[in-house]
Amino acid sequence: MFAWLQTKPKETHAMDSVGWLRAAVLGANDGILSLSGLLIGISSAEASRRSITLAGVSGLIAGAMSMAAGEYVSVSSQADLEMADLNLERQEVEQHWDEEVDELTHVYVTRGLEQGLARTVAIKLMEHDALEAHARDELGINMYSVAKPLQASVSSAAAFSAGAILPLITALLSPVEHVNIILTFSTLFFLAFLGLVGAHIGGANKMRAIFRVTVLGVLALAVTSLVGKFFEVQA
């Protein structure tokens, strides 16, 4: 009668992948747009093939290193804050058990539980693992997915490089006199595809995601092209 309960597949939610998806899409989008803007600005200034290649390779390396360093510092700061909060909460649990039970009870009451049931749940969870219960339900920290600076740094650099290599290859394979126009349209295609993939994985509206990234891409590329024209030199 209830056989379907035993075979029901595990539910999957878009939020399950939001962390890595956001980082991957942000890094790849930044790589595509940053390097494309750089190369279009350089080519708009009538630069030579050698100058375009040098700028592209340098931009990819510098961008990846910058993303890695920025992400490492950012996530390290987050990890430090989380650790400080956990240490404080550990002391509170050890020194003021009853008050901490009251705090957790209040959290569950505000979420809809009756006072008596909320207190029972708070006591049971604290007896099982007091620090984990307070970290999760009071501080909003998942003990099993705390910030990992090195992992975030490497992932961010890899995502940026994966995105940046696309416009770089496009520029290297394009006739130097047509780099600008080819790079512009290929970049919009790359951005649209990235928006499509991100929306598909995240369960978001695909057309809205494509429209968003391509419109912002057009604006960014237009600005860099104008800058290149303004400083036009023979390189």
Distance CA 197, CA 17 (A): 13
Q: Is the CB of residue 164 less than 8 Å from the CB of residue 31?
A: yes
Domain total of the chain: 1
Is 5 part of a structural domain of the chain?
no
Is 144 part of a structural domain of the chain?
yes
pLDDT in tens, 20-68: 556 677 788 889 988 988 888 888 777 788 888 899 999 999 999 998 8
Is 224 part of a structural domain of the chain?
yes
Task: Report in angstroms the alpha-carbon separations of 177 from 37, 113, 166, 210.
Answer: 17, 69, 19, 29
Question: At residue 51, what is the residue type?
Answer: S
Note down the domain range covering 66. 19-230
Task: Give me the half-sphere count of Cα atoms (radius 13 Å) on the Cβ side of residue 104.
Answer: 28
Query: pTM above the 0.85 mark?
Result: no
Is 87 part of a structural domain of the chain?
yes
Is 127 part of a structural domain of the chain?
yes
Task: Report in angstroms the alpha-carbon separations of 29 from 41, 76, 155, 229.
Answer: 18, 23, 14, 24
Is 47 part of a structural domain of the chain?
yes
Residue 20: predicted pLDDT = 53
Is 3 part of a structural domain of the chain?
no
Least confident of 11-15, 108-112, 123-127, 206-210: 11-15
* Residue ranges in 96-136 assigned as alpha helix (H): 97-110, 115-134
